[in-house]
Amino acid sequence: MPLFDQPRNGRVLAMADWQRTHTCGELRDSHIGQTVTLNGWVLITRNFPNQVFIDLRDRYGLTQVVVEDSDKALFDLTNTVGREYVLSVTGVVRKRIAGKERSDIPTGQVELEAKSVRVLNASPPLPFSVTEFPDEELANEDLRLQYRYLDLRRRSIQQVLMLRHRICKLIRDYMDAHGFLEMETPLLGKSTPEGARDYLVPSRVFNGEFFALPQSPQLYKQLLMISGYDRYFQIARCLRDEDLRADRQPEFTQLDVEMSFVEREDVLGVMEGLAADLLDKCLGVKLSLPLPRMSYKEAMLRYGSDKPDLRFGLEISDISDIAAESDFKVFKDCVAGGGVVRGLCAKGAADKFSNTDLKPGGKLSAFVAQFKAKGLAWMKVEGDKLTGSIEKFFPDAVKAKLKERMGAQPGDVLLFVADKESVVCDALGALRSHLGSELKLYKNWWDEKADYDAAEEKAAKKEKRAPKPFVAKPEHFQMLWVLDFPMFAYDDEEKRWVAIHHPFTAPMDEDVDRMESDPGTVRAKAYDMVLNGYEVGGGSIRIHRPDVQATVFKMLGMSIEDAKARFGFLLDALQSGAPPHGGIALGLDRWCMILAGTTNIRDVIAFPKNQKARDLMTGAPATVEGRQLKELGIELKN
RNA sequence: GGGGGCGUAGCUCAAUUGGUUAGAGUACCGGACUGUCGAUCCGGUGGUUGCGGGUUCGAGUCCCGUCGCCCUCGCCA
């Protein structure tokens, strides 16, 4: 791949004398003797009475520049340059003296003997360090976000953003090869009642009216199907005005996909092929296809989550029937009242948790309390006996059943939550994830890489060779499809049914008839792609019949008039030759996180917002001038 | 809106039970030094302990309030 412009139309592009002929990651033995020019930033200098060494860096790599004291003016100038100066250095590539080569960097066999140095720009001492030495702690994140342009100079961030580019490129190549068209959809659209809070944009021309920024291109891509564009994709920015998390930003990127004349299998097949491609080409991990599948119901029962992390076991056991046979009032009453009792068996963890951790108000019971669980019951397995304060309510026969059901062995802790099913699933699902990381039941691939790299770097240095790169293992990537989500959930606060996926998701054919009579049991043709406990994609087959769409709106408490006012164009379009269609969206930022080995979405976005959704660099959001508000017909209350 | 954690030099951190002039590493400045590669060695500058109030003979440390950042619950069709 040529980095520099080649002669065009018989004309050689003029090149200023300071412009680079090579990058800082390019020079090798084969360049020895050549006169070259490098442009880059000073990472660090090492000054001696007779020589100055400069590590010159750009996004391609790092090259050592040597300035000898034979040219006094050049030498004096070089002694004044500091970290992060931008230099143009012209010189001769030469072999490093014997025994002084570096095998750990690609340019380590050579160095650039400077003949002239031009300071393209100076730099004051920075608010934090751009170097990344092994034991160097990063500066506070808010400081780094304030000076994001400096933070982005760090090698590890540059590598992540270059990886992000590669991921996007792989996606485009894959989608193109599979016949998909990349198409754009509007940013200025219409607010929709369901779903996340919209970001609104006031209209100057129509005072009092607002555009909404898209939560996703959902409606547009369906309309493109109706228009006959068959296979569409877009790497689309989506905006949701909701509170942030470590893996959630107010603006984020999705790979948005829609296909016509397809059923669920077609969408899953195309997308798992893409997932395998990404893992293979980014990390060398071969995913075995087809991916495992699990129903929503099974995922909730066994893992308490619709995005289970399958890198470790610690499955949930339902012991409602056994609990009913005990004399423990809390359990019995719960089951009698229609609730469930379920538990986890934490292998060998009996000595990891003190009774203080376990008892009411302790760490673990406080943890489940977050999820509305009223308490955490527990027993320890000591020898062949069960111990703990509730042990006495369980007759021996019941204890035996319990141990068998949960696979309890000496040294294990049994943890129980009794409540209505949704609370039990939330609490135990979260507790399972919590214990999974707390008890180190699995390893993140990047933790394994960090261990490997540290050891390999030492070994390589000792043996004077280049370190061998880490190869991730397939077991670090546990991916599956979660299928057969319920169509509706009852919202206690709003006292109405809401769509679990979105209102355009098709119900399963065999469940359509129950939509009005028993909405809670209707399953949707929806699917989520789950990787290591992250929801990395989700989609559905859409409704393509106007009557079914109208019924769904009705179930969501929307009158015909409401639906027509809000989605009239869609209802009309569905009556105008809509093909069966469906699609999916992948969370591109989350994919980048996982492939880059980070747990923070800000690490994979060049200019992210902080947790309060403020851009610490620009200061946005900010007040605007009165004139601007006036044009928009907006008056501030205070 | 709720819960938790954090805030000390430009940066990363320390400071015993509330007790002397708030220290160290690094960056920065000056000096020494013939091949370094996070060079090394010597010296120096650098502090409203986030902010405001209170308790106390005495507060970085305790109390109240407030601001900021991170994690999390709610929220995210």
pLDDT one-digit tens code per residue, A87-131: 999 999 999 999 999 988 999 999 999 999 999 999 999 999 999
Write the CA distances from A601 to A63, A168, A604, integer angstroms. 31, 16, 6
How far is residue A107's CA from residue A62's CA, in Å, rounded to a whole number? 7
Q: Which phi and psi (to 5°) does residue A470 adopt? A: -70, 140
pLDDT at site A74: 95
In 3D, which of A571, A586, A585 has the Cα closest to residue A226? A571
**Residue A260: CB less than 7 A from any atom in strand B:** no
User: Which nucleotide shows the minimum CA-to-C1' distance to residue A136?
Assistant: B12
Cβ neighbors of A553 (< 8 A, separation 6 or more) are A503, A560, A562, A563, A567
Which pTM value belongs to this model? 0.95
**DSSP per-residue codes, A53-77:** EEEEEETTEEEEEEEETTSHHHHHH
| Distance of A380 CA from B73 C1′ (whole Å) | 29
- A167-A233-A593-A198 Cα dihedral, nearest 10 degrees: 150
Supply the angle between the helices A264-283 and A155-177 in degrees, to the nearest 10: 140
Query: What is the 3 state secondary structure string of A320-347?
Result: HHHHHHCCCHHHHHHHHCCCEEEEEEEC
For A145-159, what is the mean pLDDT? Answer: 96
Q: Judge whether A444 and A477 are in contact, CB under 8 Å.
A: no
**pLDDT over 80 at A269, yes or no:** yes
Give the tens place of pLDDT for each residue, A439-464.
999 999 998 998 888 888 777 777 77
Q: How far is CA A81 from the centre of its chain?
A: 40
**DSSP per-residue codes, A240-268:** --S--BTTB-SEEEEEEEEEES--HHHHH
Give the tens place of pLDDT for each residue, A272-283.
999 999 999 999
Lowest mean pLDDT among A100-109, A252-261, A526-535: A100-109
pLDDT at site A625: 94
Q: Judge whether A117 and A78 are in contact, CB under 8 Å.
A: yes
**Residue A143: CB less than 7 A from any atom in strand B:** yes
A1: which 2 tokens?
Answer: 């791949």
pLDDT at site A11: 57
**Residue A133: CB less than 7 A from any atom in strand B:** yes
Best mean pLDDT range from A190-204, A233-247, A459-473, A563-577: A233-247
Percent of chain A with pLDDT over 70: 97
Give the tens place of pLDDT for each residue, A9-26.
555 566 788 999 999 999
Average pLDDT of chain A, as a whole number: 93
**Residue A492: CB less than 7 A from any atom in strand B:** no
CA angle A182, A187, A188 (to 5 degrees): 145
| Distance of A137 CA from B46 C1′ (whole Å) | 21
pLDDT at site A1: 47
3-state secondary structure of A509: helix
How far is residue A569's CA from residue A226's CA, in Å, rounded to a whole number? 12
How far is residue A536's CA from residue A533's CA, in Å, rounded to a whole number? 9
Give the tens place of pLDDT for each residue, A375-409.
899 999 999 899 998 999 999 999 999 999 999 99
Measure CA of the first residue to CA of the last residue in chain A; give whole Å.
Answer: 57
| Torsion sign over Cα A437, A439, A443, A446 | positive
pLDDT at site A213: 97
Q: Judge whether A320 and A341 are in contact, CB under 8 Å.
A: yes
| Burial status of residue A326 (CB atoms within 10 A of its CB: 0-12, 13-18, 19 or more) | buried
**Residue A371: CB less than 7 A from any atom in strand B:** yes
pLDDT at site A4: 61
Query: What is the 3 state secondary structure string of A527-559?
Result: EEEEECCEEEEEEEEECCCHHHHHHHHHHCCCC
| Distance of A246 CA from B62 C1′ (whole Å) | 34
A81/A559: higher pLDDT: A81
| Distance of A612 CA from B63 C1′ (whole Å) | 29
Q: Which phi and psi (to 5°) does residue A353 adopt? A: -125, 120
Does ipTM top 0.90?
yes
- For residue A410, name the pLDDT band (cuts at 50, 70, 90): very high
